[in-house]
Structure 1
Amino acid sequence: METTKELYKNLTPLLNCIDHTVSDESYEVMYNKKYDMLVTSPVPENLENYYVSETYISHTDSKKTLFDKAYQLVKNHTLKQKLKLINSFNSEEKTILDIGAGTGDFLKVCKENNWKISGIEPSEKARNFASKKNIELQEDISNYKGKQFDVISLWHVLEHIPNLIEYTNQLKKLLKPNGVLIIAVPNYKSYDAKKYKEFWAAYDVPRHLWHFSKTAIKKIFATTNMKVVKILPMKFDAFYVSLLSEKYKNNTSKPISAFFTGLTSNMKAKKTGEYSSLIYLIKNN
């Protein structure tokens, strides 16, 4: 069986990206031909320190800046879409495990709609925010060993997982035989990724360790005998990622330019299917 170490073999340098959120350090983004994916190198030993920032937005409920407001606006809209998606599944007991639950907003909506919720969030700060909403989150996936769920969701989380291949094995064990695994990740083959190149905000090095294509997701989950059954777009991501990318590239926010880039990305993706972010629905084979 493949291990995560295999993903670091035979890499070709592609881009040099800067950590714009915490450290200003430079990292290489390298191409793995076998999986058609990109890999961040090197991986810092103290990776958790790269999440300690007031600007790391998924761990807060802040609405201070233009980017905070844009993020919260998009989040509120996508919560409704996410709920509609999981409600469309034929779930037996309506049990859901949300991994990387952040401040608990998605699970709060699920709970209000009669889902039996469980969640994982490594950040203590984010767990405290969630707790104030009466959403109690666990720190690690090992807390759910032996349990199984109708739905497991990872909204922009898989790209953060260091032991990627081994983790997919754990996900398989936690998913009921007829359950659905939801994986949402950025897509480096989108128009906005190609336009902004090393300034593309969704590279988010070193926090994003992996950068996926459709082929990569299919191959990675095939190693654990799981199958992608449907791929859906996340159209709002193109606008938000472009807004951040403009800031990284020009040291100033350019909302009009970002809007048109996001619009162009979505229009091109109608033909290619290569949206800025994609949702994969995955089932056990």
Structure 2
Amino acid sequence: MGKEKDFYKNLEPFLDCKDYTVSGEVYQVKKHVGFDLLVTVPVPENIAKYYKSENYISHTDSKKSLLDKVYQIVKNIALKRKLNLINSFKTSSKNILDVGAGTGDFLKICRNNSWNVYGTEPSLGARNIAAKKAVILQKDLSKIKNQKFDVITLWHVLEHVEDLQDYISKLNHLLSEEGRLLIAVPNFKSDDSKYYQEHWAAFDVPRHLWHFSQTSISKLFSDVNMIIEKTIPMKFDAYYVSLLSEKYKSGKMNPIKSLYRGFVSNWKAKKTNEYSSIIYVLKKR
């Protein structure tokens, strides 16, 4: 784990969470007080097998279930908003790297809007789906060499990486001096997280190894001399996560209650800025 072993020292109990997607196993989620960061314990030796499920929708284009259909609708809306966001940056070469690109939809829309696209994705199945869209993805960052990027994006990816601090250092190295790094992650301090607690779908153990707060993102990236330029709420996430969390909590879908909980979470976040998921726009100091 490299430097990450330091994160496994002096952890405080927080809660226990069940893997509702693949194994049904229970994992501890512990708190690193110094970083205001939650850590999943233990990390499975063969983490890849915990992604092998039709229920892991970001690696498929499935539209079978109600949740699948909701996810795909929200994804299409989010893609357009993400494109508008990256188009707002002044860039010299329009080179973009999407880390954990899934089935390639974001890079496809970027390419269709004159961006030079590069991406990584560890899942062979997801890479194969992306290839059918003419989006060629590398397995990991080690395959990206001698290249600088105006924009690097990680849409719900940082919570999955094992070597966290080393990974952040690599991202900093790949980013151009005037570039922007966009990190989207769940926020365990949101109201929907506090309401659903161990049933909160965004804990997603053991695939999510890290659970971030705004403080932890600021501290982690300050170690590589990067600062948060601004944050952007992902308001749809409160509704989707609440829909899935309600299923975990009660064993059945409850769309009305889920919509209410998502609304309450976003309403409270207007004052606290603690949205269910947050996009962090970072730059070099």
TM-score normalized with structure 2 length: 0.99
- Give the match for residue 43 of structure 1: 43
Task: State the secondary structure of the residue aligned to 2:85.
Answer: helix
Q: Offset of 1:146 from its aligned partner?
A: 2.1
Unmatched 5+ residue regions in structure 2? none
- Give the match for residue 228 of structure 1: 228
Counterpart of 1:14, as a letter, is: F
Task: State the secondary structure of the residue aligned to 1:50.
Answer: helix
1:237 aligns with 2:237: yes
Matches within 5 A, 1:105-254: 105-254=105-254
Counterpart of 1:106, as a letter, is: F
CA distance in 1, matches of 2:172, 2:3: 15
Counterpart of 1:60, as a letter, is: T
Q: Offset of 1:145 from its aligned partner?
A: 2.2
Task: State the secondary structure of the residue aligned to 1:114.
Answer: coil
CA distance in 2, matches of 1:112, 1:281: 23
Q: Offset of 1:36 from its aligned partner?
A: 0.4
- Give the match for residue 97 of structure 1: 97
- Give the match for residue 268 of structure 2: 268
- Give the match for residue 53 of structure 1: 53
Q: Offset of 1:207 from its aligned partner?
A: 0.2
Counterpart of 1:47, as a letter, is: I
Task: State the secondary structure of the residue aligned to 1:3.
Answer: helix
Unmatched 5+ residue regions in structure 1? none
Q: Offset of 1:64 from its aligned partner?
A: 0.2
Q: Offset of 1:6 from its aligned partner?
A: 1.3
CA distance in 1, matches of 2:15, 2:145: 38
Q: How far does the alpha carbon of each residue in 1:181-216 deviate from its partner, in whole angstroms, 9 at most, with x for none?
A: 000000000000000000000000000000000000
TM-score normalized with structure 1 length: 0.99
Taking only the aligned residue pairs, the percentage that are identical comes to: 59
- Give the match for residue 257 of structure 1: 257
Task: State the secondary structure of the residue aligned to 1:16.
Answer: strand
CA distance in 2, matches of 1:43, 1:145: 29
Counterpart of 1:232, as a letter, is: I
CA distance in 2, matches of 1:55, 1:231: 30
Counterpart of 1:193, as a letter, is: S
Q: How far does the alpha carbon of each residue in 1:135-180 deviate from its partner, in whole angstroms, 9 at most, with x for none?
A: 1100010111221100000000000000000000000110001100
Task: State the secondary structure of the residue aligned to 2:181.
Answer: strand
CA distance in 2, matches of 1:262, 1:11: 30
CA distance in 2, matches of 1:91, 1:271: 33
Task: State the secondary structure of the residue aligned to 1:98.
Answer: strand
Aligned residue pairs total 284
Q: How far does the alpha carbon of each residue in 1:219-264 deviate from its partner, in whole angstroms, 9 at most, with x for none?
A: 0001111111111100000000000000000110101100000001
- Bigger mean CA deviation after superposition, 3-12 or 250-259: 3-12
Q: How far does the alpha carbon of each residue in 1:49-74 deviate from its partner, in whole angstroms, 9 at most, with x for none?
A: 10011110000000000110010010
Task: State the secondary structure of the residue aligned to 1:227.
Answer: strand
CA distance in 2, matches of 1:100, 1:258: 28
